[in-house]
Structure 1
Amino acid sequence: MNFLINILIFASVLSILVFVHELGHLIAAKRFGVYCQEFAIGMGPQIYKIKKPHWETTYSIRALPFGGFVSMAGEPGEGDMGVPESRTMIGIARWKRLIIMLAGIFMNLVLAIVIYTGIFAVQGHVVVPEAKILTVVADSPAEKAGIQVNDLITKVSFSDGTSKEINHFSDLQVAFTVYKDQEVTLTIVRDGSQLDLPITPEFDAKNQTSVIGIQGPNATLEKVGIIESLKLSFTQIGKDVSQMIFLLTRVFRGIGFENLGGPIAIYGATSQVVTYGLSYYFNLLALLSINLAVVNLLPIPVMDGGRVVLTLIEMIIRRPIPEKIENAVMLASMALVLMFFIAVTFNDVIRSLPI
């Protein structure tokens, strides 16, 4: 029974994310008069569809809750669908194309804003303290490195020459998650003086995270109004985007790839909803919506961000990119994304195996 519930929750999360994203494309396309033949949630064979006589778009649900699409005239592989060129993607102004391409990302961010605003308004705002040490665990990496109570961590520097400013303990945890058991250097402030202390985190198999053996002050809960909740939602989204960019920039350097998750990891996260409840569900939905927006902004041609880059190139050279070249680039990028998807799924499988 729990397995069925978990599947339904998993499917609902993916369906909502895809629905909101593709709805953005649909609304923008229709606003600019582009003919949309089908609006589909999921992939594979149709299991439900509806189209009334006065509608020009068929709305469908497909068997697999992975992805979705808006079939628009003039898109690569779609053709003109028998409508005038002025109603196709290639027949409208390029700035309109850009808006249509970015509309899905925009809607994912809107979804996150709505969810976070609601959470803050209902539950309040968790005020996270600065990264000041309250406790140092005996015989831990922190104690061995010379970290003391009341030290304030301000920065962590990595072996690859990069660094990350630390405002809260959550920033530190993200850094340790990516670099795991690699030695890092913590910049701390102690009695007005700045010190650099090398330290190597230890992996906690029980909690599946890297730790150094420190504890900070407890967070506090602060009730806020709707306006303040809206402001806090933007702050939270900025933090989520920053962490996602931090992870992706390291992955592109070959660091922390094992931390990426695919469908199996998402299923694992959604299965926790039964334990932690609706608050966890909505927090996860908002976070995944932001991650989807960031990933879609990557300059990979099959992604929205890559298509934006191709359109900007056309605007610069003032002529369409040759169809053969565009098709070749799209096929190559699809192969790249497929390989990436397989690698991430392999990560999921390895993580799910018993140790």
Structure 2
Amino acid sequence: MTTVIAFIVIFGALVFFHEWGHFIFAKRAGILCREFAIGFGPKVFSHKKGETTYTIRLLPIGGFVRMAGEDPEMVEIKPGYRIGLLFDEANRVNKIILNNKEKFPNCRIVEVEQVDIEKDLFIKGYPEDEEEKLLTFPVSPTAVTIDKGVESQIAPIDRQFASKTLGQRAMAIFAGPMMNFVLAFVVFIIIALLQGVPTNDPKLGVITPDGAAKVAGLKQGDVVQSINGSEISSWADVVDIIRHSPNKKLDFTINRSNKEIEIPVTPIEKKVEGEKIGIIGVYSPVEKSPLQAISSGFKDTVFWTKQIFVMFEKLVTGQFSINMLSGPVGIYVSTDTVVKSGIYYLMKWGAILSINLGIMNLLPIPALDGGRLMFFAVEAVRGKPIDKQKEGMVHFIGFALLMLLMLVVTWNDIQRFFL
């Protein structure tokens, strides 16, 4: 159960922050965001606030932000339709009732002659209470249509994705992967603040309760000045001497509270990868500093970004087999292993997965954010966008291939771990 909860929390956080990036920058650009969804498939939870419906869906394989203009508008009103109209205080249409008009006794019934709820925002028609008199009704830019009891806000052209500048559209798409890197950076900072950042000072860190250092009387915070008469200037010097001295007595000269003390310590022998080394049961020293934590968070983010790119390079060059890729099942099994190692390892695992998700989405593959950005790059060069139908077909094919790849990877995971 702990693994299930950890997996749900990590996956939910990765998807939430990714989609939140899209959502925030789309809203900043003035785009109408109809839905903010975690998961795909049937709705499990739904709550509407303002213009946006927030949903959790059944299949935990991603998420999306549904922006106006990205898909065909849900409601089409044609000449000849009989619709009901309700008005706001400025006498503009703020509700357009498509059916079940009897539930709105105060609405004004109109037979549509002409309608434009995207650009000029008007409805022209013949009201039932005005015989053969054609009237024009201005429509509020925040008006809603009501179809079978479901309200949907109209999307004037200036609220649609395609109406925004190339820079605004690109930023709304790029912001998703960007937030995955930001999330990883923040998590690495939190880990560094809580655990401390390793330093190279010759100062003893945490002493294990069953090690040679504890038996000899060494304490956390002792500063090592010399070992067997050899001057010590860094933690690396301490580690090097101890590793090469299994079962050999070492005379530590340490500074404790401005007092110089001599303490003999005999490292315990341990076999690591066939090599005999000495250990005394002391962790490396750490420093808990906000500036050090920020620096450490940045370095860790850069390091793991490079490591993931190295993995992709091996995949492309054939050094890394597709059978070694992991999908949701493989990630769940790995999460189960990490959970047993403690909360800090789990946080680090989540940060690494976040970087991986960010990089994956930036790959120039149709249906991914990187594929969208690639089309924007072509638009910037051509000076005009690519035909929406052609672009949509490319993204559809890309999505189908990605789903096929996910099925293959998931089946490989199931065979590897459960069969």
1:213 to 1:265, Cα distance in 2 relative to 1, 3 A: farther
Q: 1:100 deviation in Å?
A: 0.4
TM-score (norm 1): 0.69
Q: Which of 350, 353, 367 is 1:285 aligned to?
A: 350
Q: Which of 45, 69, 92 is 1:74 aligned to?
A: 69
1:217 to 1:263, Cα distance in 2 relative to 1, 3 A: farther
Is 2:124 the counterpart of 1:59? no
CA distance in 2, matches of 1:216, 1:93: 62
Identify the residue that residue 302 of structure 2 maps to in structure 1.
238
The answer to whether the Cα contact below 8 Å between 2:197 and 2:292 also exists between their aligned partners in 1 is: no
More strand by share: 2
Is 2:323 the counterpart of 1:271? no
- Look up the equivalent residue of 2:377 and give its one-letter code: L
Gaps of 5+ in 2: 75-117, 119-152, 201-271
- Look up the equivalent residue of 2:44 and give its one-letter code: I
1:222 to 1:91, Cα distance in 2 relative to 1, 3 A: same
Q: 1:93 deviation in Å?
A: 0.3
Q: 1:350 deviation in Å?
A: 3.3
Identify the residue that residue 349 of structure 1 maps to in structure 2.
414
- Look up the equivalent residue of 2:308 and give its one-letter code: M
TM-score (norm 2): 0.59
Identify the residue that residue 12 of structure 1 maps to in structure 2.
9
Instruction: Give secondary structure in 2 for the equivalent of 1:16.
Output: helix
Deviation per residue, 1:206-251 (Å, 9 max, x gap): xxxxx98679999834224111111111111111111111111221
Gaps of 5+ in 1: 129-210
Deviation per residue, 1:58-83 (Å, 9 max, x gap): 11112232211111012256678731
- Look up the equivalent residue of 1:93 and give its one-letter code: T
Higher RCO (CA < 8 A, seq sep 6+)? 1
The answer to whether the Cα contact below 8 Å between 1:71 and 1:78 also exists between their aligned partners in 2 is: no
Query: Within 5 Å, which residues of 2 pair with 1:88-127?
Result: 88-126=160-198
Deviation per residue, 1:136-178 (Å, 9 max, x gap): xxxxxxxxxxxxxxxxxxxxxxxxxxxxxxxxxxxxxxxxxxx
Which segment drifts farther, 16-25 or 63-72? 63-72
How many residues end up aligned between the 2 structures? 267
- Look up the equivalent residue of 1:64 and give its one-letter code: L
Identify the residue that residue 31 of structure 1 maps to in structure 2.
28
CA distance in 2, matches of 1:67, 1:214: 46
CA distance in 2, matches of 1:214, 1:78: 68
Q: Which of 400, 409, 419 is 1:335 aligned to?
A: 400
More helix by share: 1
Q: 1:48 deviation in Å?
A: 1.3
The answer to whether the Cα contact below 8 Å between 1:296 and 1:303 also exists between their aligned partners in 2 is: yes
The answer to whether the Cα contact below 8 Å between 1:76 and 1:327 also exists between their aligned partners in 2 is: no
CA distance in 2, matches of 1:277, 1:75: 43
After superposition, the CA RMSD in angstroms is 2.5
Q: 1:275 deviation in Å?
A: 1.6
Q: 1:31 deviation in Å?
A: 0.4
CA distance in 1, matches of 2:362, 2:274: 37
The answer to whether the Cα contact below 8 Å between 1:301 and 1:310 also exists between their aligned partners in 2 is: no
1:327 to 1:122, Cα distance in 2 relative to 1, 3 A: same
1:260 to 1:127, Cα distance in 2 relative to 1, 3 A: farther
CA distance in 2, matches of 1:77, 1:253: 41
Which segment drifts farther, 267-276 or 70-79? 70-79
Q: 1:323 deviation in Å?
A: 2.2
Deviation per residue, 1:230-287 (Å, 9 max, x gap): 1111111111111111111221233212332110111012223542221122111111
- Look up the equivalent residue of 1:333 and give its one-letter code: G
**Bigger radius of gyration, 1 or 2?**
2
- Look up the equivalent residue of 1:67 and give its one-letter code: G
The answer to whether the Cα contact below 8 Å between 1:42 and 1:66 also exists between their aligned partners in 2 is: yes
> Share of identical aligned residues, percent?
36
1:101 to 1:216, Cα distance in 2 relative to 1, 3 A: farther
CA distance in 1, matches of 2:155, 2:69: 10
Q: 1:126 deviation in Å?
A: 4.5
Instruction: Give secondary structure in 1 for the equivalent of 2:63.
Output: strand
- Look up the equivalent residue of 1:264 and give its one-letter code: V
Q: 1:353 deviation in Å?
A: 4.4
Query: Within 5 Å, which residues of 2 pair with 1:135-150?
Result: none
CA distance in 1, matches of 2:6, 2:43: 21
1:12 to 1:303, Cα distance in 2 relative to 1, 3 A: same
Identify the residue that residue 84 of structure 1 maps to in structure 2.
156
Is 2:319 the counterpart of 1:319? no
1:254 to 1:214, Cα distance in 2 relative to 1, 3 A: farther
Is 2:41 the counterpart of 1:44? yes
